[in-house]
């Protein structure tokens, strides 16, 4: 399996971490009992907590912190640069000195649906759910469900009035215009 997995010597792996083939880990830390799917890259200075599931084809860049008990679906991308450029003003290729990374925090128990993009400098709150295919541009409050591009608050988890409703497959016009952007 080692021929299909790259784990640099500076990676800190907890106990019982399960690693799939075709992954790239360097300079990061992974907590106990976490499962990393195939074709995942986790960069330096990124941290993944305990009891997490990181699904295949996910990219976790430098500056991302994932707390314990977090689910990250397939093909989720984290972004840590608001204004990426290939070259500096003098025309030379940029180096790390030209880069101003933005942190991202995914709080305990959050879930991020497949195909989502998480921009830098945001926090996804504890137990929040990000719907599949969402683009998160702002902080997501705890215990909240968001979805869309840009992601908008759909409802609060555990809100009694929402629990009494049957799930809907589509939003009415009034519901879709009364959501908050996140």
Compute the average pLDDT of residues 39-64.
97
Instruction: Give the integer Cα–Cα distance in Å for 173 and 49.
Output: 40
What are the Cα distances from residue 149, in Å, to 2, 96, 115, 140? 39, 30, 12, 14
Q: How confident is the model at residue 168 (pLDDT cuts 50, 70, 90)?
A: very low
132-165 pLDDT tens trace: 999 999 999 999 999 999 999 999 998 655 555 5
115-129 pLDDT tens trace: 999 999 999 999 999
Task: Break the chain into its structural domains and give their ranges.
Answer: 2-83+94-181
State residue 95's pLDDT score.
87
pLDDT at 51 over 70: yes
Of the candidates 96, 98, 102, 80, the residue with the CA atom closest to the CA atom of residue 88 = 98
State residue 174's pLDDT score.
39
The full length of the chain comes to 182
CATH number for the segment(s) 2-83+94-181: 2.160.10.10
Task: Give the Cα-Cα-Cα angle 126, 131, 136 (nearest 5 degrees).
Answer: 70
Handedness of CA 83, 101, 144, 142 (dihedral sign): negative
């Amino acid at each position: 399996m080692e021929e299909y997995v790259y784990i640099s010597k500076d990676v800190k792996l907890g106990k019982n971490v399960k690693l799939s083939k075709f992954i790239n880990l360097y300079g990061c830390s992974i907590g106990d009992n976490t499962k990393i799917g195939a074709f995942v890259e986790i960069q330096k200075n990124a941290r993944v907590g305990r009891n997490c599931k990181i699904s295949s084809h996910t990219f976790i860049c430098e500056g991302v912190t994932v707390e314990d008990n977090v689910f990250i679906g397939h093909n989720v991308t984290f972004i840590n640069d608001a204004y990426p450029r290939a070259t500096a003003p003098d025309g030379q290729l940029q180096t790390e000195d030209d880069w101003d990374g933005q942190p991202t925090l995914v709080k305990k128990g959050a879930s991020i649906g497949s195909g989502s993009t998480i921009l830098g400098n945001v926090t996804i709150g504890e137990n929040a759910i990000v719907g599949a295919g969402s683009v998160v541009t702002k902080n997501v409050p705890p215990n909240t469900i968001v979805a869309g591009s840009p992601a908008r608050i759909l409802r609060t988890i555990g809100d009694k009035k929402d629990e009494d409703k049957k799930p809907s497959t589509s939003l009415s016009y009034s519901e879709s215009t009364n959501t908050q952007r996140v």
